[in-house]
Protein backbone atom coordinates (compact mmCIF):
# COMPACT_ATOMS: atom_id res chain seq x y z
CA UNK A 1 0.00 0.00 0.00
CA UNK A 2 3.03 2.25 0.30
CA UNK A 3 2.86 3.32 -3.33
CA UNK A 4 -0.72 4.71 -3.08
CA UNK A 5 -0.10 7.40 -0.46
CA UNK A 6 2.97 8.52 -2.37
CA UNK A 7 0.98 8.77 -5.57
CA UNK A 8 -1.75 10.79 -3.86
CA UNK A 9 0.80 13.11 -2.34
CA UNK A 10 2.26 13.86 -5.72
CA UNK A 11 -1.20 14.31 -7.26
CA UNK A 12 -2.32 17.05 -4.85
CA UNK A 13 -4.30 19.57 -6.85
CA UNK A 14 -2.37 22.60 -5.57
CA UNK A 15 0.97 21.00 -6.46
CA UNK A 16 -0.28 20.18 -9.95
CA UNK A 17 -1.65 23.68 -10.50
CA UNK A 18 1.59 25.23 -9.35
CA UNK A 19 3.57 22.96 -11.68
CA UNK A 20 1.37 24.00 -14.62
CA UNK A 21 1.82 27.66 -13.68
CA UNK A 22 5.57 27.12 -13.52
CA UNK A 23 5.58 25.58 -16.99
CA UNK A 24 3.60 28.53 -18.43
CA UNK A 25 5.95 30.96 -16.75
CA UNK A 26 8.96 29.07 -18.08
CA UNK A 27 7.62 29.18 -21.66
CA UNK A 28 7.02 32.94 -21.46
CA UNK A 29 10.47 33.40 -19.95
CA UNK A 30 12.19 31.36 -22.68
CA UNK A 31 10.37 33.30 -25.42
CA UNK A 32 11.36 36.63 -23.89
CA UNK A 33 14.97 35.55 -23.29
CA UNK A 34 15.24 34.27 -26.86
CA UNK A 35 13.89 37.60 -28.15
CA UNK A 36 16.36 39.46 -25.93
CA UNK A 37 19.29 37.41 -27.28
CA UNK A 38 18.25 38.01 -30.89
CA UNK A 39 17.96 41.77 -30.72
CA UNK A 40 20.10 42.52 -27.65
CA UNK A 41 17.21 44.03 -25.68
CA UNK A 42 17.75 44.63 -21.96
CA UNK A 43 14.03 45.19 -21.43
CA UNK A 44 13.14 41.74 -22.77
CA UNK A 45 16.04 40.25 -20.78
CA UNK A 46 14.56 41.68 -17.57
CA UNK A 47 11.04 40.53 -18.50
CA UNK A 48 12.39 37.03 -19.21
CA UNK A 49 14.42 37.04 -15.97
CA UNK A 50 11.32 38.01 -13.94
CA UNK A 51 9.27 35.15 -15.39
CA UNK A 52 12.24 32.77 -15.06
CA UNK A 53 12.56 33.52 -11.33
CA UNK A 54 8.79 32.96 -10.94
CA UNK A 55 9.11 29.64 -12.79
CA UNK A 56 12.12 28.53 -10.70
CA UNK A 57 10.31 29.44 -7.46
CA UNK A 58 7.06 27.66 -8.43
CA UNK A 59 8.77 24.61 -9.91
CA UNK A 60 11.16 24.14 -6.99
CA UNK A 61 8.33 24.53 -4.45
CA UNK A 62 5.90 22.17 -6.20
CA UNK A 63 8.56 19.51 -6.80
CA UNK A 64 9.99 19.81 -3.27
CA UNK A 65 6.54 19.72 -1.65
CA UNK A 66 5.56 16.68 -3.75
CA UNK A 67 8.83 14.98 -2.81
CA UNK A 68 8.52 15.84 0.88
CA UNK A 69 4.88 14.73 1.02
CA UNK A 70 5.61 11.39 -0.61
CA UNK A 71 8.61 10.79 1.72
CA UNK A 72 6.52 11.72 4.76
CA UNK A 73 3.63 9.48 3.70
CA UNK A 74 6.11 6.67 3.15
CA UNK A 75 7.32 7.27 6.73
CA UNK A 76 10.82 8.28 5.71
CA UNK A 77 10.66 11.76 7.26
CA UNK A 78 9.21 12.57 10.72
CA UNK A 79 6.37 15.13 10.63
CA UNK A 80 8.35 17.74 12.58
CA UNK A 81 11.26 17.52 10.16
CA UNK A 82 8.78 17.74 7.30
CA UNK A 83 7.28 20.95 8.64
CA UNK A 84 10.72 22.47 9.26
CA UNK A 85 11.80 21.66 5.72
CA UNK A 86 8.55 23.04 4.37
CA UNK A 87 9.08 26.26 6.30
CA UNK A 88 12.59 26.63 4.90
CA UNK A 89 11.33 25.91 1.40
CA UNK A 90 8.70 28.59 1.79
CA UNK A 91 11.32 31.15 2.73
CA UNK A 92 13.48 30.26 -0.27
CA UNK A 93 10.40 30.32 -2.53
CA UNK A 94 9.33 33.71 -1.21
CA UNK A 95 12.76 35.24 -1.67
CA UNK A 96 13.07 33.99 -5.27
CA UNK A 97 9.57 35.09 -6.22
CA UNK A 98 9.88 38.48 -4.58
CA UNK A 99 13.14 38.89 -6.52
CA UNK A 100 11.17 38.22 -9.71
CA UNK A 101 8.58 40.86 -8.77
CA UNK A 102 11.31 43.35 -7.94
CA UNK A 103 12.63 42.87 -11.47
CA UNK A 104 9.12 43.61 -12.79
CA UNK A 105 8.90 46.71 -10.59
CA UNK A 106 12.31 47.90 -11.81
CA UNK A 107 11.32 47.13 -15.39
CA UNK A 108 8.03 49.02 -15.25
CA UNK A 109 9.50 51.86 -13.20
CA UNK A 110 12.43 52.34 -15.56
CA UNK A 111 10.55 52.15 -18.86
CA UNK A 112 7.79 54.46 -19.99
CA UNK A 113 5.65 54.21 -22.69
CA UNK A 114 2.91 37.36 -12.54
CA UNK A 115 -7.72 7.07 4.46
CA UNK A 116 -5.17 9.21 1.61
CA UNK A 117 -7.61 12.12 1.37
CA UNK A 118 -7.58 12.49 5.16
CA UNK A 119 -3.83 12.24 5.20
CA UNK A 120 -3.54 14.93 2.55
CA UNK A 121 -5.89 17.25 4.44
CA UNK A 122 -3.81 16.64 7.56
CA UNK A 123 -1.18 18.88 6.02
CA UNK A 124 -2.82 22.25 6.26
CA UNK A 125 -2.62 24.62 3.34
CA UNK A 126 -1.20 27.19 5.70
CA UNK A 127 2.06 25.22 5.78
CA UNK A 128 2.77 26.06 2.17
CA UNK A 129 1.98 29.72 2.05
CA UNK A 130 3.48 32.71 3.71
CA UNK A 131 1.09 35.60 4.57
CA UNK A 132 3.87 38.19 4.66
CA UNK A 133 5.07 37.17 1.22
CA UNK A 134 1.53 37.18 -0.20
CA UNK A 135 0.85 40.64 1.17
CA UNK A 136 4.18 42.00 -0.06
CA UNK A 137 3.60 40.46 -3.49
CA UNK A 138 0.09 41.91 -3.78
CA UNK A 139 1.39 45.37 -2.85
CA UNK A 140 4.33 45.16 -5.26
CA UNK A 141 2.11 44.00 -8.08
CA UNK A 142 -0.28 46.93 -7.61
CA UNK A 143 2.22 49.16 -9.37
CA UNK A 144 2.62 46.73 -12.27
CA UNK A 145 -1.19 46.42 -12.59
CA UNK A 146 -1.44 50.22 -12.69
CA UNK A 147 1.19 50.51 -15.42
CA UNK A 148 -0.37 47.78 -17.56
CA UNK A 149 -3.81 49.44 -17.10
CA UNK A 150 -2.36 52.71 -18.38
CA UNK A 151 -0.82 50.87 -21.31
CA UNK A 152 -4.19 49.28 -22.12
CA UNK A 153 -6.42 52.33 -21.67
CA UNK A 154 -4.21 55.07 -23.06
CA UNK A 155 -1.85 53.45 -25.55
CA UNK A 156 -4.67 51.15 -26.74
CA UNK A 157 -2.21 48.59 -28.02
CA UNK A 158 -3.75 45.39 -29.34
CA UNK A 159 -3.86 42.55 -26.78
CA UNK A 160 -2.52 44.82 -23.99
CA UNK A 161 -5.81 44.12 -22.13
CA UNK A 162 -4.73 40.47 -21.91
CA UNK A 163 -1.52 41.43 -20.07
CA UNK A 164 -3.44 43.86 -17.81
CA UNK A 165 -5.93 41.08 -16.97
CA UNK A 166 -3.01 38.67 -16.39
CA UNK A 167 -1.28 40.93 -13.84
CA UNK A 168 -4.66 41.72 -12.21
CA UNK A 169 -5.30 37.99 -11.76
CA UNK A 170 -1.73 37.43 -10.50
CA UNK A 171 -2.24 40.15 -7.89
CA UNK A 172 -5.66 38.67 -7.03
CA UNK A 173 -4.09 35.23 -6.55
CA UNK A 174 -1.82 36.64 -3.81
CA UNK A 175 -4.83 38.25 -2.11
CA UNK A 176 -6.65 34.90 -2.29
CA UNK A 177 -3.60 33.09 -0.82
CA UNK A 178 -3.59 35.69 1.93
CA UNK A 179 -7.17 34.68 2.80
CA UNK A 180 -6.23 30.99 3.11
CA UNK A 181 -6.70 31.03 6.90
CA UNK A 182 -10.34 32.04 6.30
CA UNK A 183 -11.13 29.11 4.04
CA UNK A 184 -9.26 26.41 2.11
CA UNK A 185 -11.38 27.40 -0.92
CA UNK A 186 -9.44 30.68 -1.17
CA UNK A 187 -6.20 28.71 -1.31
CA UNK A 188 -7.36 26.58 -4.25
CA UNK A 189 -8.94 29.62 -5.90
CA UNK A 190 -5.55 31.35 -5.55
CA UNK A 191 -3.86 28.54 -7.44
CA UNK A 192 -6.50 28.57 -10.19
CA UNK A 193 -6.19 32.34 -10.47
CA UNK A 194 -2.41 32.15 -10.62
CA UNK A 195 -2.65 29.52 -13.37
CA UNK A 196 -5.17 31.64 -15.27
CA UNK A 197 -2.91 34.69 -15.04
CA UNK A 198 0.04 32.83 -16.52
CA UNK A 199 -2.21 31.33 -19.20
CA UNK A 200 -3.17 34.90 -20.12
CA UNK A 201 0.47 35.99 -20.39
CA UNK A 202 1.08 33.03 -22.65
CA UNK A 203 -2.05 33.89 -24.65
CA UNK A 204 -0.79 37.45 -25.14
CA UNK A 205 2.51 36.16 -26.51
CA UNK A 206 0.68 33.71 -28.84
CA UNK A 207 -1.76 36.42 -30.05
CA UNK A 208 1.10 38.74 -30.93
CA UNK A 209 2.86 35.94 -32.81
CA UNK A 210 -0.34 35.03 -34.72
CA UNK A 211 -1.10 38.68 -35.43
CA UNK A 212 2.28 39.32 -37.00
CA UNK A 213 1.87 36.22 -39.19
CA UNK A 214 -1.47 37.64 -40.36
CA UNK A 215 -3.46 34.64 -39.07
CA UNK B 1 15.72 55.53 -45.73
CA UNK B 2 12.49 53.69 -46.66
CA UNK B 3 14.32 52.19 -49.60
CA UNK B 4 17.08 50.95 -47.28
CA UNK B 5 19.75 53.38 -48.46
CA UNK B 6 20.62 56.99 -47.88
CA UNK B 7 23.22 59.70 -47.63
CA UNK B 8 24.63 60.50 -44.17
CA UNK B 9 23.12 64.00 -44.30
CA UNK B 10 19.63 62.58 -44.94
CA UNK B 11 20.06 59.92 -42.23
CA UNK B 12 21.19 62.64 -39.81
CA UNK B 13 18.10 64.73 -40.51
CA UNK B 14 15.61 61.83 -40.49
CA UNK B 15 17.03 60.40 -37.26
CA UNK B 16 17.38 63.86 -35.69
CA UNK B 17 20.92 63.12 -34.55
CA UNK B 18 24.06 65.21 -34.25
CA UNK B 19 26.77 64.46 -36.81
CA UNK B 20 29.11 62.95 -34.18
CA UNK B 21 26.44 60.67 -32.74
CA UNK B 22 25.21 59.60 -36.16
CA UNK B 23 28.78 58.83 -37.28
CA UNK B 24 29.27 56.63 -34.20
CA UNK B 25 26.00 54.75 -34.85
CA UNK B 26 26.78 54.28 -38.54
CA UNK B 27 30.25 52.97 -37.68
CA UNK B 28 28.83 50.58 -35.09
CA UNK B 29 26.10 49.29 -37.44
CA UNK B 30 28.65 48.84 -40.25
CA UNK B 31 30.98 46.93 -37.88
CA UNK B 32 28.07 44.64 -36.90
CA UNK B 33 27.35 44.00 -40.58
CA UNK B 34 23.90 45.58 -40.50
CA UNK B 35 24.85 48.47 -42.79
CA UNK B 36 27.19 48.71 -45.74
CA UNK B 37 29.17 51.83 -46.58
CA UNK B 38 29.01 52.25 -50.37
CA UNK B 39 31.83 54.75 -50.63
CA UNK B 40 31.61 55.12 -54.42
CA UNK B 41 28.05 56.43 -54.13
CA UNK B 42 28.55 58.16 -50.78
CA UNK B 43 25.66 56.29 -49.24
CA UNK B 44 24.95 53.76 -46.52
CA UNK B 45 22.91 50.70 -47.52
CA UNK B 46 21.12 48.20 -45.29
CA UNK B 47 22.44 44.60 -45.58
CA UNK B 48 20.44 41.35 -45.58
CA UNK B 49 21.44 40.87 -41.93
CA UNK B 50 20.21 44.41 -41.28
CA UNK B 51 16.85 43.69 -42.87
CA UNK B 52 16.51 40.49 -40.83
CA UNK B 53 17.45 42.34 -37.62
CA UNK B 54 14.94 45.09 -38.37
CA UNK B 55 12.16 42.54 -38.97
CA UNK B 56 12.95 40.74 -35.72
CA UNK B 57 13.21 44.01 -33.85
CA UNK B 58 9.75 45.12 -35.06
CA UNK B 59 8.29 41.72 -34.11
CA UNK B 60 9.73 41.80 -30.58
CA UNK B 61 8.91 45.48 -30.19
CA UNK B 62 5.26 44.50 -30.65
CA UNK B 63 5.64 41.85 -27.92
CA UNK B 64 7.20 44.35 -25.51
CA UNK B 65 4.47 46.92 -26.21
CA UNK B 66 1.73 44.42 -25.30
CA UNK B 67 3.40 44.23 -21.86
CA UNK B 68 3.47 48.04 -21.76
CA UNK B 69 7.23 48.22 -22.28
CA UNK B 70 9.44 50.09 -24.70
CA UNK B 71 12.54 48.57 -26.24
pLDDT tens digits along A138-194: 998 999 999 999 888 887 778 899 999 999 999 999 999 888 878 878 888 888 898
Q: Which residue of A has its CA nearest to B57?
A: A39
- Cβ neighbors of A168 (< 8 A, separation 6 or more) are A145, A197
Q: Given a cut of 70, is residue A102 above it in pLDDT?
A: yes
pLDDT of residue A116: 41
**Closest CA–CA distance from residue A37 to any residue of chain B (Å):** 11
Asked whether residue A208 carries a pLDDT value surpassing 80, the answer given is: yes
Query: Which chain B residues have a beta carbon less than 8 Å from that of A49?
Result: none
Q: Residue B28's pLDDT is what?
A: 93
Contacts of A158 (CB under 8 A, 6+ apart): A207, A211, B66
Q: What is the least distance, in Å, from the CA of B17 to any CA of chain A?
A: 21
Contact A47 B69 (CB under 8 A): yes
Which of the pair, A93 or A213, is modelled with greater confidence?
A93
Whose CA is closest to A169, among A21, A13, A20? A21
Task: Using an 8 Å CB-CB cutoff, list chain B residues near A205.
Answer: 63, 66
- Strand B35-38 to strand B5-6: parallel, antiparallel, or no bridges (unpaired)? unpaired
| Cα distance between residue A142 and residue B14, in whole Å | 39
Find the range with the poorest average confidence among A132-136, A159-163, B35-39, B46-50.
A132-136
What is the pTM assigned to this prediction?
0.71
Please give the ipTM for the structure prediction.
0.74
Q: What is the mean pLDDT of chain A?
A: 80
CB contact under 8 A, A43 and B56: no
The per-residue pLDDT for B29 is: 93
> Distance between CA atoms of A23 and B50, rounded to whole angstroms?
34
Lowest mean pLDDT among A104-113, A155-164, B43-52: A104-113
Give all domains of chain B, ordered by start, each with its CATH number.
5-66 (1.10.10.10)
Closest approach of A207 to chain B, Cα-based (Å) = 9
Amino acid sequence: MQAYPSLFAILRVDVLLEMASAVFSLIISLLALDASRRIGSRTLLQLGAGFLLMAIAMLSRSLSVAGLLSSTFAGEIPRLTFLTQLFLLEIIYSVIRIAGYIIFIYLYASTMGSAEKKATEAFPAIAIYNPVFELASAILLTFVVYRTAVNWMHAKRPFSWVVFLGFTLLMSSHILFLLTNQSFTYYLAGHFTQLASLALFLLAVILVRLDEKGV
Amino acid sequence: MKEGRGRPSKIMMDANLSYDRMSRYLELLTEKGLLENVEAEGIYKITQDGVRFLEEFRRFEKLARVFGLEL
